[in-house]
A and B are shown apart, each in its own frame.
Chain A
Amino acid sequence: AQKITQTQPGMFVQEKEAVTLDCTYDTSDQSYGLFWYKQPSSGEMIFLIYQGSYDEQNATEGRYSLNFQKARKSANLVISASQLGDSAMYFCAMRGPTSNTGKLIFGQGTTLQVKP
């Protein structure tokens, strides 16, 4: 079965510093996708970044980058130059072909607080 683990319930970071949010996954599939979403207190899930299992380069989207280590089954999110607006809950999710439905399996989430 597929599983996503986020071991950091809460994180603090100083404004303008970089922060890494951890995500490990478990799957027997060879083809899968990894996603990061941001959920502010308003509740909406905002898509941040995607990494495919066959992508050789780490994904980047503006201040977000995904540190993909396939052998270790980890897909950590790096946020550079943190801003106050980055304070939110962050979810790592995986989509694989096992179910062949595109269903996302989510981790428990990490709450990030950015200090001024």
Chain B
Amino acid sequence: EAGVAQSPRYKIIEKRQSVAFWCNPISGHATLYWYQQILGQGPKLLIQFQNNGVVDDSQLPKDRFSAERLKGVDSTLKIQPAKLEDSAVYLCASSLDFRGGTQTQYFGPGTRLLVL
């Protein structure tokens, strides 16, 4: 079974530029998560989707970050305009369904973003 796929793996941009990350979850997983991991810290949830609906985006900086999961499968996370403090690893994860059970989240390899 294929795992969570993410691209690109690395991205370097200048501040005020825009950037987009793509995630393809494990087949059949209804719940998709985007986490931000700043160096030396644990991941922090940015946004969570259930199929194509948003479950939690309370920690998403909505003035610059946006995300979508239009067909309930792939997802895109965008930053526009980027700031220096956005330098981090962006991790995508998926689970079968966040409601009930163990609901283990499986993570992709992440995208390392450096904003100069």
What residues of chain A have their CB less than 8 Å away from a CB belonging to chain B? 4, 33, 35, 37, 42-47, 50, 52, 91, 93, 95, 99, 101-104, 106-109
Contact = CB atoms under 8 A, between A and B. Distances in A.
Most A Cβ at <10 Å: residue of B42, B99, B109: B42
Given A45-B43, A45-B93, A52-B102, A103 B109 contact: no
Given A102-B95, A104-B45, A43 B56 contact: no
Contacts of A108: 40-42
B108 interface: yes
Nearest to B112: A43
A106 B43 contact: yes
Given A91-B42, A101-B56, A107-B42, A50 B102 contact: yes
Interface in B36-91: 40-45, 48, 55-56, 89, 91
A97 B59 CA distance: 18
A93 B43 CA distance: 10
B107 A45 contact: yes
A33 B31 contact: no
A102 B110 contact: no
B93 A102 contact: no
Most B Cβ at <10 Å: residue of A42, A101, A106: A101
Given A47-B106, A52-B102, A107-B42, A102 B48 contact: yes
B110 A103 contact: no
